[in-house]
Copies of this chain bind each other. A is one copy, B any other.
């Protein structure tokens, strides 16, 4: 059985995920060439002339890495069945080659489904930090989760 079902979720719960993810120059460029080929994500010399002063990861790459930390630390031990969306993303600091990202999750809301007794949704804040414990991104998202036992 998964460790976390809808019934286990309470507002204010905090999960500090153990793993981290080191993001390399090569991965930043590979991701951005495919999905976000802006100069400051793909071209080191062009990036050096921008306000970022060097290559930075696509914000969508940071989201993808954060999702991996969320899967490893929570989602793949849960009854999560997908997401209708995200309420906010803030890219707070650039992510640079060599950064080691970690994530923590805070449960903000726990809402039983009105129509489906076997599930509910949670709203959560995912905070991503780098190796200096600086916050680089905050994502407020929603996850649908099944219950262990359907509600009455």
Contact = CB atoms under 8 A, between A and B. Distances in A.
Given A68-B35, A71-B36, A88 B91 contact: no
Interface stretch (A4-12, A79-87, A123-131): A79-87
Chain A contact residues, majority secondary structure: mixed
A83 B64 contact: no
Contact of A75 (B38, B51, B87): B38
A149 interface: no
Copies of this protein, total:
2
Give the size range of A's interface with the partner. Answer: 20 to 34
Given A63-B60, A75-B38, A84 B88 contact: no
B88 A87 contact: yes
Interface of A: 31, 34-38, 40, 50-52, 58-61, 63-65, 67-68, 71, 75-76, 80-91
Given A38-B71, A38-B75, A60-B67, A91 B80 contact: no
